[in-house]
Amino acid sequence: MPLSDSEVRSLEAEDKRKVVSAGDSLYIVVYPRQRGGGKYFVGRMRHPPGAGAKQVEVQIGPYGKGVGKWSLKKARDEWDRIRTWSRDTGNDPRDLKKSKKQQVEKKSQGPTFQQLVDAYLAWGATKQPKPMKPRTVQDYRNKLVNQMMPELGADTPVKQLSWDASGKDGRTGREVVLAAKQKITLRGKGSQSDKCLAVLKSCFDYGVSMGWMERNQNPAVPDRTTRAAPPSKSNPSLEWGQLPKFFEDLERNDANAALVVRLAVKVLVLTFLRVGSLTPARWEEFDLKKDLWTIPADRMKTGKAHQVPLTAPLKEVLKELRQLNGGNEYVFFSPRGREYQHVHKDSLNAHIKKMGYKGLTTAHGFRHLALTAGQEVLKVDHEIIQRQMAHTFGDKIRGSYDKSQMMEERRDFMVAWSDALLEQGLQT
């Protein structure tokens, strides 16, 4: 009679290797005591069928419970599957295990484009505090699966779709993406192709944040020749898709920073001001009725006063700072007492380094992020962003005659910027 599961459990190791039949050409190998006494399932059959054929042994797996272990029933079912496949195909039964191993090796290359899309949409539908609406998820799925995937390939490893990668059909990831976009355009849907590319970029941004693709290798970003100049080596910047991890690290506070410093970093990201303009801020500079923060000229690089529209998330952070510092005139009061009147300008960079972002970003790097993401993610006009950053314009005649501050447009941009940061995980 075939062994029962209780009989398998009761098998004891001896000084020598022992092989026990479990029925139907399935065996249990019991290793000797000096090798741990483990139990292992193997199957034996003759291949090819017929008299005089060589007996081959197929490894099933170790007996036990848990990941990678086999119960007696599971081992029997697996052995039945292998034998049936071998008899039906005429192939060596060991080849089925080899095929499975190849699949595992393929999986080790990283997630496929299909897996990236599924993960991205699942994240979008559940992200906090502002998940995508169901119709948005469905629209994005249509663009990614129905429009882009036929060209990119569902089973293509994400890394093979990197900008410079030589993957599918010998083409780079960038070439594959542009080919997909071109096919949509040729169907007379030029605007649709642009929208598909924007969604694809966001999807790959998520892949970057998960570590599935190297930063600066997103194949769906605008042409590199038209992108904003990269940050200097002294002021590196995060990619948009890296923000969720940054905000998560900021909240976890493994660096054990004072709360006022962490709140200052949040204000920095929300306003992308220069640190020297930010940290000496006083409460008198804020007009909550007009929702404006006016920074005095002496703290601005341009030598001119600068106004920052106050968005709802920014006001929430300011509210917490007000509750924290009591009657102190400085918004970012120094946690060191009277040694400093306010948080030192170097404290923000020091904290960002302690968070583990040395070489990845600086406080100044968020200005570059706002400039690039404002154009590429939010599709905001370059001039509006530049004005909110208090950049000067090189055209002297234009500077003399164009007195418009574009305040309405800048306020709309800051609201959109704040909302986008919340979607990336910023907590206020």
Number of domains in the chain: 3
Residues 291 and 403 grouped into a single domain = yes
Boundary of a domain, candidates 209, 224, 255: 209
The reply to whether 160 falls in a domain is yes
Residues 193 and 324 grouped into a single domain = no
Residues 203 and 103 grouped into a single domain = no
The reply to whether 25 falls in a domain is yes
The reply to whether 233 falls in a domain is no
Residues 88 and 134 grouped into a single domain = no
Residue 62 contacts residue 39 (beta carbons within 8 Å): yes
Distances (CA, A) of 273 to 234, 293, 295, 351, 364: 17, 12, 10, 17, 8
The reply to whether 227 falls in a domain is no
Question: What is the distance in angstroms between the CA of the first residue and the CA of the last residue of the chain?
Answer: 68
Boundary of a domain, candidates 74, 107, 140: 107
Residue 156 CB: number of other CB atoms within 10 A?
Answer: 20
Residues 81 and 122 grouped into a single domain = no
The reply to whether 225 falls in a domain is no
The reply to whether 193 falls in a domain is yes
pLDDT in the model for residue 394: 43
| Gap between the Cα atoms of 42 and 18, Å rounded | 12
Residues 38 and 80 grouped into a single domain = yes
CATH number for the domain that contains residue 41: 3.30.160.390
Q: Could you tell me the mean pLDDT of each successive run of 10 residues in the chain, 428 residues long?
A: 80 87 89 76 83 80 77 89 85 72 50 91 84 90 92 89 74 87 78 87 88 84 51 74 91 88 96 94 93 92 90 94 84 72 89 91 92 87 87 46 67 92 90
Residues 252 and 205 grouped into a single domain = no
Give the range of the structural domain holding residue 33, as residue numbers without chain letter: 5-107
pLDDT in the model for residue 292: 95
Boundary of a domain, candidates 86, 107, 128: 107
| Gap between the Cα atoms of 105 and 135, Å rounded | 37
Residues 102 and 122 grouped into a single domain = no
The reply to whether 215 falls in a domain is no
pLDDT in the model for residue 1: 60
CATH number for the domain that contains residue 305: 1.10.443.10
Residues 192 and 312 grouped into a single domain = no
The reply to whether 219 falls in a domain is no
Tokens standing for residue 270 = 């929300």
Residues 288 and 391 grouped into a single domain = yes
Residues 87 and 121 grouped into a single domain = no
Residues 65 and 204 grouped into a single domain = no
